[in-house]
């Protein structure tokens, strides 16, 4: 804002501002999608990539994972507490399994889907007996015990 009492003419008729009011511009808009974290989307994208890449046998005598196995994996992703644990590594196996794996300095969780609406897993943690599960319904997700294995690593 121009206030004549705060401007003094100097040699050559230039002006010097003695006081200038502060100003602030605030903008409120959502961050672009590429700047936000989307762990569920990242896992879905990985599953989509693998289902396209391994839709046909990739090794002699291998069995590609079925669409049902990928669908079970997607349903399982929706049960994961991704604010407590990191995203798993996702792979496919030559026997048709879609495999999720978490590992850290003192633990490992290996979990697989074959497309029957269930999953099996093996989990090991230092100073604990291994935990094994078979035929666990996909909708159940990881137990609190297994989440504790993978939390905060």
**pTM greater than 0.75 (yes/no):** no
pLDDT category of residue 45 using cuts at 50, 70 and 90: very high
**Helix intervals (H) in the chain:** 39-53, 67-77, 144-150
Contact by Cβ (8 Å): 123, 146: yes
Ramachandran region of residue 52, left (φ > 0), alpha (ψ -120 to 50) or beta? alpha
DSSP-based three-state secondary structure for 37: coil
Strand partners, 120: 112
- For residue 34, pLDDT over 90 is answered with no
Q: Domain spans of the chain?
A: 38-150
What pLDDT digit, counting tens, does each position of 93-136 carry? 999 999 999 999 999 999 999 999 999 999 999 999 999 999 99
Q: CA nearest 56: which of 66, 47, 68?
A: 66
The helix/strand/coil state of 116 is coil
The per-residue pLDDT for 35 is 45
For the chain, the 3-state helix, strand and coil shares in percent, each to the nearest 5, are 30, 25, 45
């Amino acid at each position: 804002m121009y206030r004549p009492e705060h401007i003094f003419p100097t040699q050559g008729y230039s002006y010097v501002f003695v006081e200038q009011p502060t100003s602030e511009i605030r903008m409120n808009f959502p961050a672009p999608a590429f700047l936000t974290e989307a762990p569920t989307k990242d896992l879905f994208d990985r599953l989509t990539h693998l289902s396209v890449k391994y839709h046909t046998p990739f090794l002699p005598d291998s069995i590609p994972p079925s669409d049902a196995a990928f669908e079970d994996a997607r349903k399982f992703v929706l049960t994961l507490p991704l604010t407590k644990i990191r995203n798993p590594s996702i792979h496919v196996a030559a026997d048709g399994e879609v495999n999720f794996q978490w590992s850290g300095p003192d633990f490992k969780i290996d979990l697989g889907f074959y497309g029957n609406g269930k999953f099996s897993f093996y989990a090991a943690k230092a100073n604990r007996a291994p935990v094994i599960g078979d035929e666990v319904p996909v909708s159940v997700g990881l137990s609190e015990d297994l989440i504790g294995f993978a939390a905060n690593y």
